[in-house]
Structure 1
């Protein structure tokens, strides 16, 4: 018989008898590597595969004098060995990469693919976009077409170092806040594609009115920058009352919204539709939550007793109340503006304490003593000039001085500090 035919017959016999040895070699390679962390030696795989193949060939009647003396037997043995070694290599790799502890929690803590992460400076972020249609939630009315289109065309920037479960929770909160949805459910995949199911807002205004108050609408002069949540004082004649803004819209805001809608419609009509394609949807505009000012209408939540007096007047005026500022941050800003810096430090050596006390330009603002030897507790902060004694090793202190001078004073000490 010709040699090519013998080679083909050898490949056929090798594939026929090599399936079982390959399965055994792959399974043993996986089990040994997974449970022991050791790779099964290749010589053992060869001996085991040949043993199984010889037994299988004998049972199949392949070991005959005519076959044993022909080249096809050598080809068959080579095919069996190649199959067994390849299966062993794949099983060993699987045993090395497969996690030893697999739970539903670890499955939920999967993260995003590295291909979708954007680096902004040293911080990674990801842009999440919806995929497919925005689904309705069971038990709720369907979404309006405008709200459905707005959500479908939106995109959201989120941190990329969070697991998918946390990203889903954050996106749900953003959607619920931005669109005042009654309920929302988000599912993310590794490519930052979001599958969203949402329920439309229900009772948006009534949910924002505090208990015991009423919402009234007034036609008045709207201050520029007024937004929902601002505290205002309403003056109507000789009567004044305080309230919380629920919504505000001026005539300028209405004109801008109308112009934006007309421009969007015109742009949509002028956009050419490519052959075989679909008309691109216009990007949704984000509503401005603050007003442009001028004549308009404001809805305010006021106490129940003030509703009737306010509705009886025509010249109500709004005065925006200050929410106050943080005096601590204001003090820090004034200190920095004057060219000084405030630092917190822990005294490590007596030389550091000596340098602080001897320099007239470095002042101690507050100090906290080290732990007491008797009860093992650290005392509270004492503010200067109420210090009854000098700083000692182990004390914490806030010091102030010209920028750079405090560091120079501390470096001149013999031990440094722990900031």
Structure 2
């Protein structure tokens, strides 16, 4: 029997308000969650805006011990996992623990915990030789990104394959693709798959300031993220997490589960070219799209919507526009395309999983979320980018793509059953 991986539960912590339904309501309303940075004093940085999560760990049910132990990124992942599990209707307490897997993506791991602890250990950076006696017991866990996957595994009692996928900004897509593979090959019956990142810290801001990748539009945070717009000037940092419950199609049907969609195809490629640069022809992304569609046994003509990477940098937007044309041909001009980063910013490794969650909700509701703030289209980006207002649209097959530093290019096909 051919095993097929489907999504039966979704949990979300995103800029704006926590929760799957609040996330979808924000997207379809075309509202932006970008604002001036409040998590630290950003006055000395070039880019001082971000898409922050309004997150209260205690209100979300985390115990004082969990809050003390876990970095903010781990807290996001645990809260999203609990919501996904509740949404799926599964009771994993009676499941074989070895049949439960976890696949979590993250680009920068426990950045906030590490930076906070370094500030303490080094006395605000004044001491070159740090005093380890000031370190908290959780410091080692902050240094090991796999801690994030471990925290999710503890939530669900997973004793099957547990992994942390770190491939830059494609981590979220890649983690969901890996989770689907675990289902398809029979390595797990249930997988919690998604990603998390909480990168809003001085070190992250300094790094992106140095390469001038983030926006300097500090006076108008709500309109700072402008993918595909001629007036864009860089992306807006974000944070968040999305986790999905994946299981085998027939098993999900047998228990009467609500199925959001099937992960029908996934592929990733690398450009082996430059750490941050992209070739203008979009060849590697186009190849990832081609292979993902082949694995899904879908023709380019069947693609009904494209969830773009759409970071809001000229290099990326033009690169993936070229990739869509190269992979889909004339169909590229007929398919609606949008970027939810216009509303929730770019949460690095987490954004791919948030985009898959948005695609699953789009399939369920048959609504395409818009590209907010798109008022003056870039002439070199001449596709249908669904500006400003959400659109009702018949969808059976959705393509979601990601592009990451290091040359990573990934594509995932989600299909309605």
TM superposition score normalised by structure 1: 0.19
Larger Rg: 1
Q: How does the TM-score come out when normalised to structure 2? A: 0.19
